[in-house]
Amino acid sequence: MSANSPKVGFVSLGCPKALVDSERILTQLRTDGYQISASYDDADLVVVNTCGFIDSAKAESLEAIAEALESNGKVIVTGCMGAQAEEITRVHPKVLSVTGPAQYEDVVSAVHRFAPFSRSHDPHIDLIPPQGIKLTPRHYAYLKISEGCNHKCTFCIIPDLRGRLVSRPIGSVLEEAERLVKSGVRELLVISQDTSAYGFDLKYKLDFWNGMPIKSRMLELCEALSSMGVWVRLHYVYPYPHVDNIIPLMAERKILPYLDIPFQHASPRILKAMKRPAAAANTLATVKRWRDICPDITIRSTFIVGFPGETDDDFEMLLDFLSEAQLDRVGCFQYSPVDGARANQLDNPVAPEVMQHRWEQLMELQAGISHDRLAAKVGTQIEVLVDSVDGQQAVARSWADAPEIDGLVHIKNAGDLQPGDSLQVSVNASDDYDLYADLAK
């Protein structure tokens, strides 16, 4: 611990749950190298963890904030009363930041913002690397921007398990992205339950990154990530109208021309039964519009066959959609009842043998589509990111390939390559799902 590291004062009010919250915040601050001050005078700023259960607790919280402001001047507010931020800022407009209960990451991010502290990582004494503990290879990482979901899809119980949408403030997301890139990550895979809804719950509020104000919204997030000099890949995007604003960034190569969009079906009747968001949208027209803006965009999607009530006509509508849409990457699942899902109560379940046959038909159709679209890349040069090397053979991915779920690019004479290398290759062959290439000359 450096003697010059910032000191944080801390006031913890309320119940034992609030005390545990305070302990978690303090633990993270100490892990990050901050010192804890026992006095206002000696602190660089003060965190007040408030209570808002009853009026007297609110009054005590407001008094504690006032005392901290008078004695120190730099105050961050969190805790239960923070859920009514307007009550706090109306009385104390000079507080630096207000967050609600259990928002540990937001509090720590605010401390980093208003008492910045940068120290070099010492592997001899620091148990945790600056980018955190990762389970992915060193050259790519998942960047989670929100938790939970506001949708009520009848086949899904994620909102019951994870709650409603809770977006991370954009400053926190971008600070994590910077740490990952500094650690050697070459590809950021943006994930959530609904990436296109990012910031909706925050009302797209302003946050700060590198001292500059920035809205917590999908477009601003993509623009900021595009400045980091790495691949940025978007997953779990719903085809809302504002997604159109992201496609020009792909055409300009600021982020990867790749969208993972779970369409799930094409029959309006089935989509209505699923209660899918954007079910009424003209999906084919949307795909065409995106390709007009960015002709080489890769679109991946997933579909469910055998949803309760799915008829032969519904399934044929799905096949017709796939034939016309010519999606690049497709995954398909047979409907499976999930405990607690409302779809389990729907009439007319599809027989397992019918479900299996429909799955086979869909995958056979999509294999042909994928084969033709990949064959069109033979004779071209593409950029790839190397995942692994075994002797003279390397396995890599192109812009069109997300880890684990999409195809691969197999490279010959690649003994000098290392995982994480980015390079141009010449495509010389293809099959239903993969490409085969040589090093570009």
Tens digits of pLDDT across the chain (441 residues):
456 789 999 998 876 567 667 877 888 888 888 888 989 989 999 999 998 766 778 889 999 999 999 999 999 999 888 878 888 999 999 999 998 877 778 899 899 989 987 666 565 555 455 655 555 788 988 888 988 888 888 888 777 767 789 898 999 899 989 988 998 999 999 988 899 999 999 999 888 888 889 999 999 999 999 999 999 999 999 988 899 999 999 999 999 999 999 999 999 999 999 998 765 568 899 999 999 999 999 999 999 999 999 999 999 999 999 999 999 999 998 998 877 888 888 889 999 999 999 999 999 999 999 999 999 999 999 999 999 999 999 999 999 999 988 999 999 988 899 999 999 999 999 999 999 999 988
Give residue 305's identity as a one-letter amino acid code.
V
- DSSP code for 264: B
Q: Token pair of 64, please?
A: 């504690």
Q: Do residues 74 and 48 lie in contact, with contact meaning Cβ atoms separated by under 8 Å?
A: no
Q: Do residues 324 and 282 lie in contact, with contact meaning Cβ atoms separated by under 8 Å?
A: no
Q: Which pairing describes strands 35-37 and 45-50: parallel, antiparallel, or unpaired?
A: unpaired
For 351, other C-beta atoms within 10 Å of its C-beta total 9
Domain 381-439 has CATH 2.40.50.140: yes
For 162, other C-beta atoms within 10 Å of its C-beta total 14
CATH 3.80.30.20: which residues of the chain?
A: 140-375
CATH 3.40.50.12160: which residues of the chain?
A: 7-114
CA distance 265 to 160: 23
**3-state percent helix, strand, coil for the chain, nearest multiple of 5:** 35, 20, 40
Q: Name 170's Cβ contacts closer than 8 Å, sequence gap at least 6.
A: 199, 207, 209, 214, 215, 216, 217, 220, 221, 224
348: left (phi over 0), alpha (psi -120 to 50) or beta: left
**What CA–CA distances, in Å, run from 47 to 102, 104, 177, 375?**
14, 12, 25, 59
Number of Cα atoms under 13 Å in the Cβ half of residue 37: 18
Angle, helices 283-293/312-325, rounded to nearest 10 degrees: 10
Distance of CA 179 to the CA centre of its chain: 16
Q: Name 278's Cβ contacts closer than 8 Å, sequence gap at least 6.
A: 238, 239, 240
Q: Name 251's Cβ contacts closer than 8 Å, sequence gap at least 6.
A: 257, 293, 294
| Closest C-alpha to 176, from 146, 148, 143, 149 | 143
**What CA–CA distances, in Å, run from 120 to 44, 123, 182, 340?**
21, 10, 12, 48
Q: Token pair of 107, please?
A: 């509090």
CATH 2.40.50.140: which residues of the chain?
A: 381-439
CA distance 407 to 126: 38
Q: Which pairing describes strands 381-390 and 409-411: parallel, antiparallel, or unpaired?
A: unpaired
Q: Do residues 80 and 100 lie in contact, with contact meaning Cβ atoms separated by under 8 Å?
A: yes
Alpha-helix runs per DSSP H in 5-54? 16-31
Q: Which pairing describes strands 422-430 and 381-390: parallel, antiparallel, or unpaired?
A: antiparallel
- Is the entire prediction scored with pTM above 0.75? no
> Which backbone phi and psi does 233 adopt, to 5 degrees?
-120, 130
| Domain at 7-114, CATH homologous superfamily | Methylthiotransferase, N-terminal domain (3.40.50.12160)
Q: Do residues 40 and 13 lie in contact, with contact meaning Cβ atoms separated by under 8 Å?
A: no
The owner of tokens 């946050």 is 207
The owner of tokens 């799955």 is 359
Q: Name 371's Cβ contacts closer than 8 Å, sequence gap at least 6.
A: 430, 431, 432
| Closest C-alpha to 424, from 414, 432, 433 | 414
pLDDT at residue 278, rounded to an integer: 61
Select from 3.80.30.20, 3.30.413.10, 3.40.50.300, 3.50.30.30 the CATH code of 140-375: 3.80.30.20
SS3 302: strand
End-to-end, the C-alpha distance of the chain in Å comes to 51
Q: Beta partners for 149?
A: none
pLDDT at residue 1, rounded to an integer: 47
Q: Do residues 139 and 419 lie in contact, with contact meaning Cβ atoms separated by under 8 Å?
A: yes
Q: Do residues 327 and 374 lie in contact, with contact meaning Cβ atoms separated by under 8 Å?
A: no
